[in-house]
Structure 1
Amino acid sequence: MAGTDSIVESTGDDAAALAALGYTSEYRRDMSLWGNFALGFTYLSPVVGVYSLFTFALGTGGPPMIWSLVITGIGQLLVSMVFGEVVSQFPVSGGIYPWARRLWGRRWAWMAGWVYMLALLATIASVSYGAGPFVALMLGFTPSTTSTVICALAVILIATLLNLGGTKLLTRAAIFGFAAELAGAVVVGLWLLTTHRQHGLGALFHTFGAGGTGSYTSAFLASTLIGLYLYYGFEACGDVAEEVEDPSRQIPKSMRRTIYVGGAASMFVALGLVLAVPDFGAVISGADADPVTTVLQDAFGSVGTRIVFGVVLISFLSCALSLQAAGSRLMQSYARDKMIFGSTYLARFSQARHVPPYALAVAAVVPAVIILLSTVSASALTRIVSFAAVGIYIGFQMIVLAALRARLKGWQPSGRFSLGVWGLPVNVAALVYGVLAAINMAWPRTPDAAWYDNYLVILSAGLVIVVGLVYLFTAKPHDRSDAPAGDAIPAK
């Protein structure tokens, strides 16, 4: 397949390059470099990540938890560089699934796509559900399960309608979400640091009793979940590869910019919040159960806080929008290779909007059903959503491992972005980071809870993998398509 690689590298025509990879696209290349970057940024969503997990991270690890944003940012930057090499050579819509297919083979690709698809659907539900309390805070009423569910369903509905509008509308919505989120992060961070700072930078090196009498290392590792849950989203830039001009060159740039800008925004708003907290001991002890609201109310007043929460809601909506776009492209990519049940429908396109409407419908209905389960059992929602983040990390590391395997078997990335001699060490470092991060996310930390709750993340991930393997070896979806597979590795 070396001839194919050279065609992809040399041609400047996106359609011809895609045809050389075995596909004719029905998507329109209406997404600019900034639109592609905005899609990844709003999926990563620093505001959603920081505001959702700030209380947990600060209460668990104290102010030093902010350094986890640096550590995880560097780790995910390594992963994004590996992804950049892959998408540069194989700029095909769908991301995880087609990359795994070209790097390793059909079975590996099916499992990587299966795990990542379910993780995306659960994450859409999680993000949409997380918007509910902020609606209540913005409008001034006490959130309930009913109000949160209604708000979550509204977020999914709006995101779906925007996605059905086509690539241009998706691009505009992503850029608007990016601008609002970045402006909100900068304004909040600057205001807190210049007018409501309660501590000096030295506070970032003191635990203030976090971890209690036990090991602080354990407490810090638990607090790093804020970074681990934050730094993914760059992969979405590659999910829409067939909607971007010159994707081999542009998408790797977008991926790295997502990490740079998203990481800087996350650290800035987190720094402002940390140094504005009046009493770290109250947060660590649980006496201040919502330090974010405490800080914002003190700094901005009632009206200003509601405006900030309005920006936060835009961030939640933009994040759900980007997640849904990524999930629908993944399913459509699966379907056009006839690798998933319902392929006939999931592969279809709207000729008017050039989007996969049935795949978008699945990316709306499944998360909505997950959310509705909370009206029956809040624990059911927790059990489903607990898999989301670790599932994404598993999907990512399946690509990193496949890239390392292919590299050791002779793969030399031939796209317009390549790490050159640094490819192997970066690949190894990205794999080590990702495996350790997944272990940290799944580590049981609630010994007083029932064993199945303590091991909930591991059990949920194991269930998804086992079900996927059973389907893979009984239904044999990998045998339904003769699309190229494993061609990254040179033929002997």
Structure 2
Amino acid sequence: MADPLRGNDAYLAQSDTFAADKDLHRPSVAKERHFSLGAKPLGENNGGHNSADDLLEIMGYKAELLRSRSTLQVAFMSFVLASIPYGLATTLYYPMVGGGPANIIWGWVAVSLIILCVAASLGEITSVYPTSGGVYYQTFMLAAPSYRLIMSWICGWAFVVGNITITLAVNFGTTLFFAACINVFESEPGVGIFAAEPWQIYLIFFAITLLCNAVSALGNRWLPYLDTFAIFWTFAGLICIVVCVLAIAKNGRHDAAYVFGEFDPSNSGWPAGWSFCVGLLHAAYATSSTGMIISMCEEVQQPATQVPKAMVATIVLNTIAGLIFLIPLVFVMPDQAELAALVSAQPVPVIIKSAIGSTGGSIALLLPLLVLALFCGIGCTTASSRCTWAFARDGAIPGSKWWKQINMKLDVPLNAMMMIMVVELVLGLLYFGSAAAFNAFSGVGVICLTASYACPIVINLITGRKQVAVANFKLGKLGWFCNVVSICWSALALPLFCMPTAIPVVPEYMNYASVVFFAFFVVATAWYFVWGKKNYQGPPTHEDAVLEARRGSVISHQDKVQF
């Protein structure tokens, strides 16, 4: 196999540490470097930024981003990436068509429990390999030398494409939700005041995308505080929505049997069981950001412990917040068939107006969701720029020399961020051809992210989970169960979310996620053999050195506990 370090001389020359000895990547020299750093084993157990940066150095990278986020701030950003309840509001149409109340409530619970296993599985691996490369880097490190290059290549492209398309879906979903909120005002019963022509939708999407990128790029130092504010904003908004819709409930309330037991798949045309499964895209979309927070590892003070804890804790918090939001809405929602037939495919504004009975009051309750939507777009923009930058840093993206640069003044990978923004704006033009573009964006995002999460988990399980034995965030025997559940979910999700929401299918409402995903897979694989096989070398690192560093960290921690 070709030397995995070849082609990284330019990178090494930029680092004073590595310039002194380019052989530091060799296991023996890396270990000497490891034990010469003040005679301390590496990892967060020694505290401070230096230990995390030292481990990053052994992984083959120079610390270029400021480690400014604490454990709570990481958890808050992870929460904002999912943006419950906004993430559930924009895609409520799927379970509404799929089966109604039971699909909404129990679909959310089921997917949340599954994603908890995914988060725990990824968290365990991340505690060994805490870098912005995320699942791509983990796949490379866990895989055997014979297939690690192509596996990490495909995983990396799936992760990058998933980040970009889910960010696109968030901003496009915000646009459609905003249009539906405007039409809470009616010129006559059932007729909104906003035509929502394709060009109008695209211009709003364009403005939202520019705003999210501007805030993420220019306000990076303030983003942790924005994420913290978003937590309080979310729960304040939740309380207002829950109290108002249940207290006023102008058109009455359903009983508990309806809310938790009513299941009507007739709107989808699919058999009952499959209809319920197709409706799970609602919950899967809201939880698809689970692994995106890994890309922030190089801006976190203690990534090997903070990021895994944040990932798992956020799923628990999201599950509770989601139930608090969904159950009251189902109690007061109008006729299911009426909501499933909405042209806007955005039932939440209609549900809230039906319960409140006042246009002004409805807008006041929808405003917290709109603001949270912008927070989510900013968070996704930030995370997607980091993962793209990290992948470009290892030479996997054409033009990497531009995309791997850090703007030192703003402390962000500005070039990568701007490139992603242009890609999103171009893809957004698909809306002019099909009103189902949002379905394709959200579907491809979920599919690609799910596939990328599965890669390191599958390899970890196949190799007997040996490398996570040195994890700071260790699952023990529970890890086998979480890994198996995660893989089974991935095997179901990949074909499931390529399916149309309802049948019979007409071209305007076809789910084009399968076409886009297949095209991505073919192009990524072909590009590897055309270009990547000669130019892509993988991360500039060696697993033995990293595992030795992590092992020293774990031993040190155990000694301190015993003392």
Which piece of structure 1 moves more, 26-35 or 176-185? 176-185
Which stretch of structure 1 is more off in the superposition, 299-308 or 189-198?
A: 189-198
Distance in 1 (alpha carbons) for counterparts of 2:178 and 2:339: 23
State the match for 2:87 in structure 1.
49
- CA pair 267-103 structure 1, distance change in 2 beyond 3 A: same
Residue among 127, 143, 149 paired with 2:202: 149
Q: Which residue does the alignment assign to 1:68?
A: 107
Residues 194 and 404 from structure 1, CA distance in 2 versus in 1: closer, same or farther, beyond 3 angstroms?
A: farther
Task: Give the conservation status (yes or no) of the 8 Å contact 1:199–1:275.
Answer: yes
Q: Percent identity?
A: 22
Contact 2:169 2:442 in 1 (8 A): yes
Amino acid at match of 1:134: F
1:127 aligns with 2:156: no
Does residue 262 of structure 2 align to residue 219 of structure 1? Answer: no
Instruction: Kindly state the Cα deviation for residue 178 of structure 1 after the two structures are TM-superposed.
Output: 3.2
Counterpart selection for 1:35 from 73, 76, 100: 73
Separation (CA, whole Å) in 1 of partners of 2:327 and 2:157: 37
Q: Distance in 2 between matches of 1:26 and 1:416?
A: 24
1:102-117 to 2 correspondences below 5 Å: 102-104=141-143, 105-117=148-160
| Partner of residue 92 from structure 1, selected from 113, 125, 131 | 131
User: Aligned partners of 1:474 and 1:289: how far apart in 2?
Assistant: 42
Q: CA deviation at 1:47?
A: 2.3
1:152-192 alpha-carbon deviations (Å, 9 max, x no partner): 11111111111113542222222233332332223212332
Q: How far apart are the structure 2 equivalents of 1:125 and 1:482? A: 28
Change (3 A) 1:286 1:317: closer
Unaligned 5+ runs, structure 2: 1-26, 36-40, 186-192, 549-563
Q: Give 1:10 shift.
A: 5.7
Measured after TM superposition, the shift of residue 453 of structure 1 is 7.4
Counterparts of 2:536 and 2:120, CA distance in 1: 31
CA 1:469/1:302 → structure 2, altered by over 3 Å: closer, same or farther?
A: same
Instruction: Kindly provide the amino acid, as one letter, of the partner of residue 255 in structure 2.
Output: G
Q: Is contact 2:124–2:475 with CA below 8 Å preserved after alignment?
A: yes
Distance change in 2, residues 1:376/1:450 (3 Å) = closer
Q: What letter corresponds to residue 325 of structure 2 in structure 1?
A: V
Secondary structure of the 2:274 match is helix
> In the TM superposition, what are the counterparts of 1:449-468 in structure 2 within 5 Å?
449=505, 456-468=512-524
CA distance in structure 2 between the aligned counterparts of 1:380 and 1:387, rounded to whole angstroms: 11
- The 1:216/1:346 distance shift into structure 2, 3 A limit, reads same
Q: What is the CA distance between 1:138 and its match in structure 2?
A: 4.5
Give, in angstroms, the shift of residue 464 of structure 1. Answer: 0.5
Shift in alpha-carbon separation, 1:430–1:317, aligned structure 2, 3 A = same
Corresponding residue for residue 245 of structure 2: 192
Q: Report the Cα distance in structure 1 between the residues aligned to 2:398 and 2:345, rounded to whole angstroms.
A: 45
Q: Would the alpha carbon gap of residues 425 and 489 (structure 1) be closer, same or farther in structure 2, given more than 3 Å must change?
A: farther
The residue number in structure 1 matching 2:417 is 360
Helix, strand or coil at the partner of 1:412: helix
Out of 321, 326, 348, the residue aligned to residue 292 of structure 1 is 348
For structure 1, which runs of at least 5 residues remain unmatched after alignment?
Answer: none
Q: How big is each residue's C-alpha offset from its partner over 1:305-328, in whole Å with a ceiling of 9 and x where there is no partner? A: 212332222122112111111111
Supply the AA of the counterpart residue of 1:123. Answer: I
Shift in alpha-carbon separation, 1:487–1:423, aligned structure 2, 3 A: farther
Q: Per-residue deviation at 1:19?
A: 1.8
Cα distance, 1:479 vs. partner?
3.6
* Counterpart Cα distance in 2 of 1:284 and 1:381: 16
C-alpha distance in 2, partners of 1:228/1:290? 17
Q: 2-side partners of 1:289 and 1:382: how far apart?
A: 10
RMSD, aligned α-carbons: 3.0
Distance 1:463 1:183 in 2: 43
**Is this contact kept in 2: 1:447–1:454, CA < 8 A?**
no
Cα distance change, pair 426–25 in 1 and its aligned pair in 2 (3 A) = same
Asked if structure 1 preserves the Cα contact closer than 8 Å seen for 2:101 and 2:258, the reply is yes
| Conserved? CA contact 2:115–2:287, under 8 Å | yes
> Which secondary structure state, in structure 2, belongs to the residue aligned with residue 29 of structure 1?
coil
Q: Which residue does 1:320 correspond to in 2?
A: 377
Q: Hey, what's the Cα distance between the residues in 2 that align with 1:447 and 1:234? A: 31
- Cα displacement (A) at 1:92: 0.8
How many angstroms apart in 1 are the aligned matches of 2:287 and 2:545?
A: 27
Matched to 1:118, the amino acid is V
Return the offset for 1:8.
3.8
CA distance in 2 between counterparts of 1:307 and 1:278 reads 20
Matching of residue 77 in structure 1 with residue 116 in structure 2: yes
Paired position in structure 1 for 2:326: 270
- Aligned pair in 2 of structure 1 residues 488, 49: CA closer, same or farther (>3 Å)? farther
AA aligned opposite 1:432: C
* 1:175 correspondence with 2:228: yes
Q: Secondary structure at the match of 1:407?
A: coil
Q: Equivalents in 1 of 2:538, 2:444: separation in Å?
A: 29
- In 2, distance between residues paired with 1:216 and 1:374? 31
Mapping of residues 330-349 of structure 1, within 5 Å:
330-349=387-406
Q: Secondary structure at the match of 2:411?
A: coil
1:223 aligned partner, one-letter code:
G
Structure 1 length normalisation: TM-score? 0.90
Q: Write the distance in 1 (CA, Å) between the matches of 2:62 and 2:546.
A: 23
For 2:525, the equivalent position in structure 1 comes to 469
Secondary structure at the aligned position of 1:35 is classed as: helix
Query: What is the deviation of 1:378?
Result: 4.6
Q: Give the whole-Å Cα distance in 2 for the aligned partners of 1:63 and 1:93.
A: 39
Amino acid at match of 1:429: V
> Which amino acid is the alignment partner of residue 320 of structure 1?
G
1:160 partner amino acid = N
For 1:275 and 1:128, the matched residues in 2 are separated by 29
The structure 1 residue matched to 2:53, chosen from 9, 12, 15, is 15
Q: What is the DSSP-based 3-state SS (H/G/I as helix, E as strand, rest coil) of the residue aligned with 2:67?
A: coil
Aligned CA distance change for structure 1 residues 453 and 195 (closer, same or farther; 3 Å) = closer
C-alpha separation in 2, matches of 1:289 and 1:264: 25
Q: 1:201-240 counterparts in 2 under 5 A?
A: 201-207=256-262, 209-211=264-266, 215-240=271-296
The TM-score, its normalising length taken from structure 2, stands at: 0.79
| Segment drifting more, 160-169 vs 65-74 | 160-169
What is the CA-CA distance between 1:359 and the residue it aligns to? 0.7
Matched, 1:306 2:363: yes
SS at match of 1:162: helix
